[in-house]
A = this chain, B = another copy of it.
């Protein structure tokens, strides 16, 4: 536990993390060897873990609150993809010796914001020094009705393929950030960049898909690559309607300005939910979409066979490695 290993100059870290653990909860105020959690009856627990390294997954001078929020959200997206509601998380931080206390304060602020938004709590973790770059790993724990977690392997021929929200924004946002989309309107540039910097995990959608989606995952590698995961796990083929892909106004403007950018739509890091469902569920999905004010777009169909292809035979753009 954090409290066991104060780090000399980082001794004050506990001061920033302890308030995130709540009082007398699972984390035992971060003052015991481990956290203790009483699982709710009739529920399965879902576990996922992601790591982020400065200079690889974020820039060393990115605002620390943003780094924390992205780390939380990437994990929350994995929980949502299984249909799970978030419960708590454990955090390990490897901090460079020169790290500023203000960095830690900002990082904790970002975590606090996500706790408020998504209703989960810090359960524990560890903080160590590193001679290398800041490295943060988060283990997320969620709950789902027993036996009902959404999996990748349940898609059946005849199912429709859906994706939430809009895709391609994050990959285009990275170009904005690198200054490689100079011609785009400022309002569009900001939208794309924000979607790259801070994804929106579909935490409310995931649990609503229980009993409806036959297979689900979140879009991180890219739409085609991730659909290939579902096709492989389900032993089916996925056929995409490329013209149906939901693009934001900003992405549409970018692609209109430079059609070569269309491939970027498949670049990944969308953290939208990609799922399949029987056509009989169309009305259920329309209702969920209205309830959550979130587009759920049918982008294709599952067939017998294997792999992913476009219905019109166009080659699928890269950004994936799994064919």
Residues of A within 8 A of B (CB): 1, 4-6, 26, 28, 31-39, 41, 43-53, 55-57, 78-79, 81-82, 84, 88, 90-94, 123-133, 135, 137, 139-142, 144, 146-147, 149, 151-153, 217-218, 220-221, 229, 233, 321
For A43, the closest partner residue in chain B by CB is B39
Q: Are B128 and A57 in contact (CB under 8 A)?
A: yes
9 contacts between A and B (CB under 8 A): A4-B221, A34-B79, A36-B149, A37-B46, A37-B47, A47-B141, A49-B139, A53-B94, A132-B133
Partner of A130, one of B133, B147, B220: B133
Q: Are B51 and A137 in contact (CB under 8 A)?
A: yes
Distance in angstroms from A45 CB to nearest chain B CB is: 5
Distance in angstroms from A148 CB to nearest chain B CB is: 10
Partner of A48, one of B1, B49, B94: B1
* Set of chain B residues within 8 Å of A233, measured between Cβ atoms: 31-32
Q: Are A128 and B51 in contact (CB under 8 A)?
A: yes
Q: Are A135 and B49 in contact (CB under 8 A)?
A: no
Q: Are A33 and B137 in contact (CB under 8 A)?
A: no
| Cα A52 to Cα B140 with chains together (Å) | 20
* Set of chain B residues within 8 Å of A127, measured between Cβ atoms: 51
Given A47-B141, A135-B94, CB of A128 within 8 Å of CB of B53: yes
Q: Are A39 and B36 in contact (CB under 8 A)?
A: no
* Set of chain B residues within 8 Å of A90, measured between Cβ atoms: 47-49, 139
Partner of A135, one of B33, B130, B149: B130
Distance in angstroms from A170 CB to nearest chain B CB is: 15
Partner of A132, one of B57, B93, B135: B135
Q: Are A44 and B36 in contact (CB under 8 A)?
A: yes
For A75, the closest partner residue in chain B by CB is B34
Q: Are A46 and B34 in contact (CB under 8 A)?
A: yes
For A29, the closest partner residue in chain B by CB is B233
| Cα A49 to Cα B55 with chains together (Å) | 24
Partner of A144, one of B26, B36, B44, B135: B36
| Cα A45 to Cα B88 with chains together (Å) | 12
* Set of chain B residues within 8 Å of A92, measured between Cβ atoms: 49-51, 92, 137
